[in-house]
Structure 1
Amino acid sequence: MKINAVIVSAATLFGLVGSAAAKTTINVSCYRGPLEAVIWDRANPKFVDSLVSQGYSSATASVLADSICRNPGLVANPDRIGPAIRAMIAATPKDG
């Protein structure tokens, strides 16, 4: 079993410094399953909870987090996770 976890601060996501958002954290945490292929991969609860704390409903946060965790282009590519989350947040209105 492999677990890939990355913590991305909102300051990194939005380029904010010295604001309340700079203290917010999105915990990117994915279960990577026993195989190299993206088959059983899914978001861990702390990733979903981080998105909920940013204003997404639980359902939307689950879909967004799973889309990041199940993206084969992001497996073993932590440098791509930040830009992928920025794009996801920019494209998805908050609904929570």
Structure 2
Amino acid sequence: MRTAIMAVAAAIALAAPASAHQTHAHSHTHGHQAVAQEVVQTPTVVVSCFRGPWDKVIWDHPQAPFTDSLVAYGYSFERANAIAQRVCRDATLVGRPEALRATTMQILRTAPRN
């Protein structure tokens, strides 16, 4: 939520100076739309863990879409892998997809992107 608000504020801030330089109405409209879409659109983080057939954490590890989406979100590969490993190796999250989601969101709120 906070990210979306900041993105909208950034879109407004970026669009305002652009409008002062645009004189043609057609390109002006597309310029605002392009900036707003570019700034507001944030990647989706895909929580994807390999669990195996066990309820215990044995072979559990993050799958590529999880790590790749964290990199697209702004984390270095090393940091994205560490976050994904932490989430996928948490024994309290086995069989609890909503808890996986909530834990990942909490980490994303507190772990600065690099």
Shorter-chain TM range is: 0.7 to 0.9
Residue 61 of structure 2 is matched in structure 1 by 42
Unaligned runs of 5+ in 2: 9-39
1:43-86 Cα distance to aligned partner (Å, 9 max, x none): 00110000000000000000100111111111111111222111
Q: For 1:86 and 1:27, locate their aligned partners in 2 and report how far apart those are by CA, in whole Å.
A: 11
Name the TM-score, length of structure 2 as normaliser: 0.63
Q: Which has the higher strand share?
A: 1
Name the TM-score, length of structure 1 as normaliser: 0.73
Q: Say which of 43, 67, 81 aligns to 2:86.
A: 67
Q: Which has the higher helix share?
A: 2
Residue 8 of structure 1 is matched in structure 2 by none
| Percent of aligned pairs sharing the same letter | 34
Residue 41 of structure 2 is matched in structure 1 by 20
3-state DSSP class of the match of 1:79?
Answer: helix
For residue 35 of structure 1, report the CA deviation from its aligned partner. 2.3
Query: Highest relative contact order (Cα 8 Å, sep 6+), 1 or 2?
Result: 1
Are 2:41 and 1:33 aligned?
no
Does the CA contact (< 8 Å) of 2:57 and 2:89 recur in 1? yes
Unaligned runs of 5+ in 1: 1-13
Question: Could you say what the CA RMSD is over the residues aligned between the two structures, in angstroms?
Answer: 1.8
